[in-house]
Amino acid sequence: MDVTKEIERLRRELEYHNKLYYVDDAPVISDFEYDMLMQQLIKLEEEHPELITPNSPTQRVGGAALSQFTQVRHQVPLESLSDVFSYEELASFGERMDSQLDEEHTYCVEPKIDGLSMSLEYENGVFVRGATRGDGQIGEDVTENLRTVRSLPLRLTDAPERLIVRGEVYMSKSVFRELNSIREINGEALLANPRNAAAGSIRQLDPKVAASRKLDIVCFNMQYASGEQYLTHAQTLDALKHMGFPVVPYKLCSTIKGCCERIDWIGEHRDEFSYDIDGAVIKINSLAQRSYLGSTSKFPRWAVAYKYPPEKKESRVVDIVVQVGRTGVLTPKAVIEPVRLAGTTVTNATLHNQDNIDRLGIRIGDTVLVQKAGEIIPEVLSVNMSKRPDNTVPYRMPEFCPECGAPVIRDEDGVALRCTSPECPAQRLRNLAHFASKEAMDIDGLGISVCQSLIASGLVNSPAELYYLDAQSVAALERMGKKSAENLINAIEKSKGKGLASLICAFGIRQVGQKAAKTLASSFGSLDKLMEASELELMAIPDIGAVTAGFIKEWFELPQSRHQIELLRQAGVSFESNETVRDSRFDGMTFVLTGELSSYKRDEAAAIIESFGGKTSSSVSKKTTMVLAGENAGSKLKKATELGIKVISESDFEEMIK
């Protein structure tokens, strides 16, 4: 076999199927068959790394992290559009076009994608550079991150020698929901909307992070094409689609009235698009007429963006229910009479928390004004007091979890209420995923999808029940099989000896992470001694304050926690500490690590410091003992110098740990 030819064949076949899937929406092979082709290519490239190219389909997972983005001057400026907010304003635009163009003209109407605008450059059909819009004249080079976007073609069919295309990077609604679901499980802050999520993802310095966000792109303009002559914008879009680009859908209209009808259609069907839409774009179709009309200092004269106003409608509150999220937070929700908003029928609206309910003064039976916040989440804006029925009463959040009956506590910020039970059904997935995570019991092969399968099948309802699984039952789960099940059972068995620090961390007690868990494990030595400790004894431990001590004590006093611990004990999970401190030369010392270390990763250096009884911090303060500074150290080094804190080099550190 000619390896070079086989690699090239596989690349072209994968690119062909990418086009069918992302552009034509007409795949002819299954995901499994596609994955098998990809695995063949990966294997050949691993055996012949000298044949790997930046545009290979295998490189979409992301390359090396970038230190910064370089600036790019756009060959063709990326102009923005003037906005119109009513059909009267749109009619005025049409009148201007009629007065300035003596000949007949048509309009091209497209949905306005709410994403991040990009310039894409190709040479001889090969993707060479991508840049953000920036100020329209100068943007940032994000080529490596754009290579991870699966719907972006890296090689084109029948392309001109040089081509510049403008597109919109977006995060699909389904991916956005999935990403926020995972962030919720991990206790991370939720992303506000798909547009912000896409913008933050494409500007990640590590392309692997961008790759994990599953971004997409849709193209809407040909900026430049050497040697090509097109008469209309519609022709350029058709040509781009032929080359392999996912292209924005368009409709040609001969009148402004026809444009309005198309805008209405887009608005009514906006929920059916995979991307968020915040309006519609109306453009003169003829490229010659565009050239004649030209641009102002800010906008092209031949196009406008019609922005959909946020729809607001009244509805009646039928009930107020409380949902328990995967992190245990109780969120009140208004159940309302069905109302049509932004293309969807809305029957629920978030009320956020008790403070917001009090601010609105909302009660069951009230008539309220509802809109979609950011066109995504329905929310209540106000109460129509004139329509309030008699005998309504103020609403108060429950004192006990509606899912499991455990007491709820108020967060430190005084806003959110949270369920305290480790066995709460609403928190099963989050608790199970955290228990198995690397920083906790480190159970290899027990990711989110497997956790979901275990819970859905009824095999596991709480983390402790993992230790009572058998391979046969696990093998019956979807996508598991005998070997995968055996590997998972072995990993669960192995985790029994992880030690007390990992177990404490796995419990998910509030404010008790890896560092606090290690401190507690080394201080008490066994779980039984920790359970017996008073709050005063807990507060005597370094880094355990009054609030954290209270959380620890409350968690161990819950009947559900005691039940979990007893199940773990009977399963043979180690309750003893295996933390070994070689000596205590760094006892009572706090280090801050900054800059680039050549001999260690930061977490490796931190582990060494902790093994000698010290601890690390992310910020410099008067409590800092010394700062370990590597290359390109920045503000932390400056602050340490200002405070007179000792600064050591990597070689100094190596001398200290000999």
Task: Give the residue numbers spanning the domain of 37.
Answer: 3-52
Q: Which of 107-116, 272-281, 540-549 has the lowest mean pLDDT?
A: 540-549
Quick one: 191 and 154 in the same domain? yes
Q: What is the CATH number of the domain that holds 359?
A: 2.40.50.140
Of 115, 223, 214, 110, whose CA–CA distance to 169 is shortest? 115
Q: What angle do CA 180, 184, 186 make, to 5 degrees?
A: 115
pLDDT at 350 over 60: yes
Residue 650 lies in a domain: yes
Of residues 283 and 102, which shows the higher confidence score? 283
Instruction: Kindly report the CATH number assigned to the domain that includes residue 37.
Output: 1.10.287.610
Confidence band for 439, pLDDT divided at 50, 70 and 90:
confident
Q: Does 86 map to a domain?
A: yes
261 and 294, same domain (yes or no): yes
Last residue of a domain, one of 471, 495, 519: 495
User: What pLDDT digit, counting tens, does each position of 40-66 carry?
Assistant: 898 898 888 888 887 788 876 555 545
Asked, for residue 287, whether it belongs to a domain, the answer is yes
Residues 521 and 633 in one domain: no
Measured CA distances, 42 to 38, 63, 134, 154, 236 (Å): 6, 15, 35, 17, 35
| Residue of 19, 112, 498, 615 marked active site | 112
- Look at the chain and report how many structural domains it folds into: 6
Is the predicted pLDDT of residue 327 greater than 90, yes or no? no
* Residue 185 Cα distances to 414, 426, 427, 448, angstroms: 22, 11, 8, 9
Domain assignment of residue 68, yes or no: no
Look up the CATH number of the domain holding residue 529. Answer: 1.10.150.20
> Predicted confidence band at 318 (pLDDT cuts at 50, 70, 90)?
very high
Is residue 296 domain-shared with residue 333, that is, in the same domain? no
Contact 139, 222 (CB under 8 A): no
Check whether residue 90 and residue 223 sit in a common domain. yes
Of 307, 326, 352, the residue that ends a domain is 307
Structural domain includes residue 504: yes
Q: What is the pLDDT of residue 579?
A: 63
Are 146 and 225 contained in the same domain?
yes
Asked if residue 577 is part of any domain, the answer here is no
Residue entry with tokens 């790759």: 211
| Nearest partner of 263 among 421, 107, 75, 140, judged by Cα | 107
The mean-pLDDT minimum among 19-33, 240-254, 356-370, 398-412 falls in 19-33
| Cβ atoms of residues 454 and 448 within 8 Å | no
Q: Are residues 241 and 325 in the same domain?
A: no
> Is 375's pLDDT higher than 80?
no
Give mean pLDDT, residues 220-239. 95
Confidence band for 33, pLDDT divided at 50, 70 and 90: confident
Same domain for 374 and 517, yes or no, is no
State whether 239 and 347 are in the same domain.
no
Q: Are residues 185 and 223 in the same domain?
A: yes
**What is the pLDDT confidence band of residue 543, given thresholds at 50, 70 and 90?**
confident
- Boundary-marking domain end, from 543, 571, 599: 571
Picking from 123-132, 315-324, 336-345, which range would have the lowest pLDDT averaged per residue? 336-345
Name the band, by pLDDT with cuts 50, 70 and 90, for residue 376. Answer: low
Q: What is the pLDDT of residue 95?
A: 95
Tell me if residue 112 is catalytic: yes
What is the reported pLDDT for 63? 53
What tens digit of pLDDT does each residue of 120-136 get?
Answer: 999 999 999 999 988 88
Asked if pLDDT for residue 364 goes beyond 70, the answer is yes
pLDDT digits (tens, 9 = 90+) for 604-625: 888 888 878 788 888 888 889 9
Residues 147-176: tens digit of each pLDDT:
989 899 999 988 999 999 999 999 998 888
In a domain, 409, yes or no: no
Same domain for 278 and 334, yes or no, is: no
pLDDT digits (tens, 9 = 90+) for 175-197: 888 888 777 777 677 776 788 78
Is residue 66 assigned to a domain? no
Kind plus residue range of the DSSP H or E element containing 564: helix 559-571
Segment 85-128, tens digit of pLDDT: 889 999 999 999 999 998 999 999 999 998 889 999 999 999 99
| Statement to judge: residues 190 and 263 lie in one domain | yes
